[in-house]
Structure 1
Amino acid sequence: MPITRTKALLALCLACIVIVFASVPSSAQMLARPGWAGFGQKSEAWWKHSIIYEIDPHGFTPEGLHGIAQRLDYIHSLGADAILLTHIAPDATHPQSLDPAIGTLDDLDTLSREASTRNMRILLDLGTPPAGTDLNSLARLWLNRGLAGFRIADPQQADQLRKITGSYIGERIVIGDLNPAANAHQQPQLLLDSSLTKLNQLNAATLRPAIEAIQSNSSSLLLATDGPDVTRSAARFGDGQHNLDIAKVFAAILLTNRASSLLYYGQEIGLASSTPMQWGTPVSPAPAHPRRLAAPANDPISVAAQEADNSSLLNWYRQLSALHHSNQTLSSAPSIMLDHDAQNILAWVRKPEGASLRDPAVIVVCNLTAQSVHVSLKDDMQKLHLKGNFLRTILRSDSGMGPMSLDSMTIPPFAVYIGQLRY
């Protein structure tokens, strides 16, 4: 008899669990429950040293959310840990609605579910909700559908959102804007540093202090060079001749920095205008809007062309993102900027505590000129008390081979060199 009662109680408990989970959208279960593809697999929070890929569904594909779901393998190849969706509401006065031009709530659920199978989360940019918005209801609407968090501009609203997301399991996060004057009780997990989006001069004297300030900030930063409301970096820094090579420099700044990285869709192929993503493949059915026409397959600023070129900007982003996730020194070691402004060389050292032969420092060198530059880092290493006389190549953006001597390194025009200090 006791065994029978025990079985009955177990059956009742299981029934209650089924009822509870049945009341939650399947996408929320995919995010929150143990067994979700990205749940509890790492001891470190997923958003630390992350890569977040920002998408406006209106411009990424003609098919909106459905099109994003079809391109998840592409996004995953960029090393993205999460997708940040922008402009999904029909207008500012309806933040709890989904623009029918990009799809339905079912499409959003499908995207969240499919992304989770690739260890990627879905985030939502709330921008600046209009006055009178019930932020609690707004947040819970999306969190209950399985979204992993939000980006929001106002620090007080970010503080409120942090309290709401903290009541959900599944490592939900808030991204707030970097605002030194803000006194929020609970800082967002990530602070968006958009300082590089305000720069447009390609010289070391301008970039070095800006990057130094980023690297010295003790907060958990999300670094961006591009975004929906700024001129793309390819247009701001490009010279019309070496745009893709210059874009590789900014990819290195983003992905070898100590901050997390925010990539705005299209920057990985050097998109320089507000035109939609250029896939370089026929669009079927024909788009209703002429701006959504696909680029020719041979257009160098297209995914199709760059997929076929191992030395392309797209494949450089993929190489850097793999390094960003796999190299412990690049993900966590302190950064030290080197002053080679006179040569227009941007260089920095990622120096592990107790750097040694087994745990070497990593050095990044970027040539910001259209000519080859000869540079010596020997004195820099001596001042930093780092042993070594050459660099073993980890990654470089040009076709060069072999190690580099600290006494005299030759960096080709607009090239990036990344190496380990060896002796």
Structure 2
Amino acid sequence: MGPPSSIMPKFIFPRRLQVVAFSLFLTVPFCSQTQMLARPGWAGSGMNAAPWWKHAVIYRADPRTFGGLRGIAEHLDYIRSVGVDAVLLTSLGSDVKQPIDAAAGTMDDFEEIVRRASQQSIRVLVELDPQQDLSSWTRMWLVHGAAGFYVPGANAEQLATVRKAAGGLGGQRIVIGDTDAVGAQSRGGDGPQMLVDRSAGTQEKFVASMVRPALEASQPFADRSSLLLLSDGPKLKRSMSRYGGGAQDVAVAKELAALLLTTRAGAMLYSGQELGLGDAAKEISFAVPQKKGDQPAPLSVAAENASQDSLLSWYRQLSALSHSNRTMSSGAITVLNHDDQNVLAWVRRPAAASLANPPIVVVENLSDQAVTVSLKADMQRLHLRGSFLRTVLRSDNGMGAMHLDGMTLAPHVVFIGELKY
């Protein structure tokens, strides 16, 4: 945490610049309208009452991992392929005279991202520093087409300032805060629409006894507002480096991905985690082999595109499932306790479960050994009818249904199945 705001020097827009920015805000909202009306009828377009951010997948893009903002603009097709609803631009700059660091790019690059993203129905969000003059910075970014803001570490009053400034334009401008910074203060008409919770995805060890309680504790926030689970970020050690170091690195990363993308919450992904990049990696590699027979570089987009078993492919499958299956996008969640076997499991339940609209069960074996787990008693306790799970998605190459009274999972395998009888 930095020093208290009372002793931090604040960035203050000159009076003249504030007037100019506000005038532009009122008279030239072209880019902002582009973001609002990219696809008539889409959620949050201003022509549809449904909030677009409910159960959203947000991709937090650091310009440095793409070689600058121009690289992000050029690779929006790739970002969209991960299955995201919005791109959050981070590490842009903090100087009011030059809002974007020269190494990251220019405002023209930013507006090009907005233009291209709008064509692909992707919102563009901007990360703000809570020590900035938030009202002025919010207005400035709105003029250039931002569809919302994430203010990490901001308190409830600061978030209310951003929410008020962002509410001046039509459409649904999103404001995102942190659960650990605002907590219960966040609720209300002037609070953030979304909250980021990093507790489940950043535990010291990725074991059921530590992750399950954190996941359970986060779900009340998901019920009251739109929650985003997070495991990686600019100031965090990458999860691949944090939990990796063994032969099962990719398998563990797939378990973490399922945690982020199959609960009641949405997810905030950090650029490169979908490829399994560790702390040593500086940029995403989009290089392709130049000669016939050459193999793409490990962890490059080309290498992971070529493998159906890659981590990138898994992220795409999970995002597609969370967007296309109503139970996964809006169903209630019950987290099950199988800590004694180092198994993480939860049930997603539709409002009215039936044979045609069954609950979905997610089971993860977080241990290095195969385990046989019974979920029969759990289903009986929840008054859910069923005797087996029909495969929806699994992280290994296994086949066939899983019986509730004895399902065997190989080490670090994720199984997602529909409850059937």
8 Å CA contact retained: 2:46, 2:170: no
Superposition pairs for residues 2-13 of structure 1, below 5 Å?
none
Amino acid at match of 1:340: H
Bigger radius of gyration, 1 or 2?
Answer: 1
In the superposition, relative to structure 1, how do residues 41 and 421 fare at CA in structure 2: closer, same or farther (>3 Å)? farther
Match of 2:197 among 193, 198, 204: 193
Separation in 2, partners of 1:322, 1:399: 19
Superposition pairs for residues 93-108 of structure 1, below 5 Å?
93-94=95-96, 97-108=99-110
Matched, 1:136 2:142: no
Which residue matches 2:154? Answer: 154
Separation in 2, partners of 1:22, 1:41: 21
> For 1:9-45, what per-residue CA distance to the aligned partner results, in whole angstroms no more than 9, with x for missing partners?
xxxxxxxxxxx99952642231235866952565421
8 Å CA contact retained: 1:391, 1:403: yes
Deviation at 1:117? 0.7
Which residue matches 2:86? Answer: 82
Which residue matches 1:120? Answer: 122
8 Å CA contact retained: 2:175, 2:194: yes
Separation in 2, partners of 1:388, 1:211: 25
Deviation at 1:202? 2.1
In the superposition, relative to structure 1, how do residues 304 and 34 fare at CA in structure 2: closer, same or farther (>3 Å)? closer
Superposition pairs for residues 142-221 of structure 1, below 5 Å?
142-152=141-151, 153-155=153-155, 156-178=157-179, 179-180=182-183, 182=185, 186-217=190-221, 218-221=224-227
Matched, 1:32 2:36: yes
Deviation at 1:401? 1.0
Which residue matches 2:234? Answer: 228
In the superposition, relative to structure 1, how do residues 312 and 283 fare at CA in structure 2: closer, same or farther (>3 Å)? closer
Match of 2:343 among 345, 366, 382: 345
Separation in 2, partners of 1:253, 1:42: 30
Give the secondary-structure state (helix, strand or coil) at the position aligned to 1:246. helix
Give the secondary-structure state (helix, strand or coil) at the position aligned to 1:146. coil
Which residue matches 1:8? Answer: none
Which residue matches 2:368? Answer: 370
8 Å CA contact retained: 1:88, 1:102: yes
Matched, 1:66 2:66: no
Match of 1:333 among 321, 331, 334: 331
Query: Which consecutive unaligned segments of at least 5 residues does structure 1 have?
Result: 1-19, 285-295
8 Å CA contact retained: 1:176, 1:191: yes
Matched, 1:394 2:396: no
Amino acid at match of 1:103: G
Superposition pairs for residues 234-383 of structure 1, below 5 Å?
234-273=240-279, 275-279=281-285, 281=287, 298-383=296-381
Amino acid at match of 1:225: S
8 Å CA contact retained: 2:57, 2:84: yes
Give the secondary-structure state (helix, strand or coil) at the position aligned to 1:277. coil
Separation in 1, partners of 2:412, 2:184: 37
8 Å CA contact retained: 2:186, 2:192: no
Give the secondary-structure state (helix, strand or coil) at the position aligned to 2:128. strand
Which residue matches 1:11? Answer: none
Which residue matches 1:293? Answer: none
Aligned residues: 386
RMSD of aligned Cα (Å): 2.4
> For 1:272-300, what per-residue CA distance to the aligned partner results, in whole angstroms no more than 9, with x for missing partners?
2153233151699xxxxxxxxxxx95443
> For 1:60-109, what per-residue CA distance to the aligned partner results, in whole angstroms no more than 9, with x for missing partners?
222x11111111111001111110001111xx343862112222211111
8 Å CA contact retained: 1:281, 1:297: no
Give the secondary-structure state (helix, strand or coil) at the position aligned to 2:185. coil
In the superposition, relative to structure 1, how do residues 95 and 237 fare at CA in structure 2: closer, same or farther (>3 Å)? farther
8 Å CA contact retained: 1:226, 1:233: yes
8 Å CA contact retained: 1:96, 1:138: no
In the superposition, relative to structure 1, how do residues 116 and 297 fare at CA in structure 2: closer, same or farther (>3 Å)? farther
Q: Report percent identity of matched pairs.
A: 47
Separation in 2, partners of 1:120, 1:340: 38
In the superposition, relative to structure 1, how do residues 283 and 227 fare at CA in structure 2: closer, same or farther (>3 Å)? farther
8 Å CA contact retained: 1:232, 1:273: yes
8 Å CA contact retained: 1:391, 1:419: yes
With 217-226 and 381-390 compared, the bigger mean Cα shift is at: 217-226
Give the secondary-structure state (helix, strand or coil) at the position aligned to 2:183. coil
> For 1:209-258, what per-residue CA distance to the aligned partner results, in whole angstroms no more than 9, with x for missing partners?
11111123333211101111111111111242211110000100000011
TM-score, normalising length: structure 2: 0.86
The 4+ residue runs of structure 1 with deviation greater than 6 A are none
Which residue matches 1:10? Answer: none
Give the secondary-structure state (helix, strand or coil) at the position aligned to 1:182. helix
